[in-house]
Amino acid sequence: MKRKLRGRGVAASWYGIARTATIDRAGAWAELDDGGTAKIVTGVTEIGEGILTVLAQVAAEELGIRPEDVTIGDNDTARSPEAAHAGATRQTYMIGNSVALAAREARGKLFAEIADHWEVSAEQLRAFNGEIWVEDTNKRMTMGEAVARCKARGVVPVGAASFTAHGTGLDPVDGSGSPWQAYVFGTQVAEVEVDTVTGEVQVLGIWAAHDVGRVINPRGVEGQIEGGVAQGLGQALMEEWQTDKGHPVTHGFAKYILPTSLDIPEITSILVEDRDPKSPLGAKGIGEPALVPTAPAIMNAIYDAIGVRMKSLPATPEKVLAALAAKEGAAA
């Protein structure tokens, strides 16, 4: 047997978006502000996934301004509407859509005033990237001017909205029910190299294809996939919280081994868009689903390389060597 053997494996996956088997809801407020800026207030924020930027892009698109003109207001139960928790792959779907709806309402108030000012119908108005204009005419002004005009007419352009996802509970006997209104699917291919002397597995490549509904920020989605793959790889090969009669054995980073820059494969992300028909944005989500197929794809690749089926995670060098020895023992 060659010392280092390579193989490939694939795994598919699926996942539900937002809270499970229950109705989910989120609220947001929007205000088109002086200078063509905006305030968006919602009760939940960034845990690293890039939701602030996504919300700013969504608000900018709806309001006709630029993402950097948007200020996202506090994650504060006493100062902002309920948006519930930062989890369940629900941020883009729940908060993104509630911000889109709130921004539309604010825009509607501004458009009504500007349409009246220009003596056109609101349907003829377009706004993008800091400007508002009447299609096929020379009527055009900055969004800063439009907000000033709107306020001079006595109107502050504000909006508020709530977005609902209609999940239902499961039947207690047969589990039937509609836990989510939006589903995503993913497939990952892993390529590994197994050192048959040390038992070490290196993941060299991951090709990750994920349906995200509609991509708001491609780099942000890739970042979520790359991070999910790294966590999936950690769980597949090295991480394990161990206790002995309840007492921790792996109590710090010296004992609890995490993937570092040297463990990371080349990751190729392929973003598939199957738009969600039940929401204004059409986007779904990617946070959690990104890591579901990683570990089984790696285990399937290890099997392809050395013919041992790793059924117990993590596939540490010790376990891989033991499995190889058992296989050779069985063959002898």
The residues in 87-126 that bind other proteins, with binding defined as CB under 8 A, are: 87-88
> In terms of Cα–Cα distance, which of 44, 38, 145 is closest to 102?
38
Q: What are phi and psi of 193, to 5 degrees?
A: -125, 125
Catalytic hit among 49, 288, 318, 328: 288
| Displacement of CA 90 from its chain's centroid (Å) | 8
| Displacement of CA 178 from its chain's centroid (Å) | 22
| Interface positions, 124-163, toward other proteins (CB under 8 A) | 128-129
Size (the chain), residues: 332
Counting contacts by CB under 8 A, is residue 53 touching other proteins?
A: yes
Q: Identify the sign of the CA torsion 294, 298, 299, 304.
A: positive
Q: How far is the CB of 241 from other proteins (least distance, A)?
A: 4
Task: Choose which of 3, 78, 138, 154 interacts with other proteins (CB under 8 A).
Answer: 78
* Number of residues near other proteins (by CB under 8 A): 146
Kindly write down the DSSP assignment for every residue of 245-303, as one continuous string: TTEES--STTTS----GGGPPEEEEEEE----TTSSS-----TTGGGTTHHHHHHHHHH
Would residue 288 show up in a list of annotated catalytic residues for this protein? yes
| Interface positions, 264-323, toward other proteins (CB under 8 A) | 264-268, 270, 272, 274, 277, 281, 287-289, 291-293, 295-297, 299-300, 303-307, 309, 311-314
Of 144 and 223, nearer to other proteins (C-beta) is: 223
Task: Choose which of 208, 237, 323, 324 interacts with other proteins (CB under 8 A).
Answer: 208
Counting contacts by CB under 8 A, is residue 5 touching other proteins?
A: yes
Point out which span in 7-15, 33-41, 132-140, 146-154 binds other proteins (CB under 8 A): 7-15
**Peptide bond preceding 314 in cis form (omega within 30 of 0):** yes
- Active site residue ranges: 288
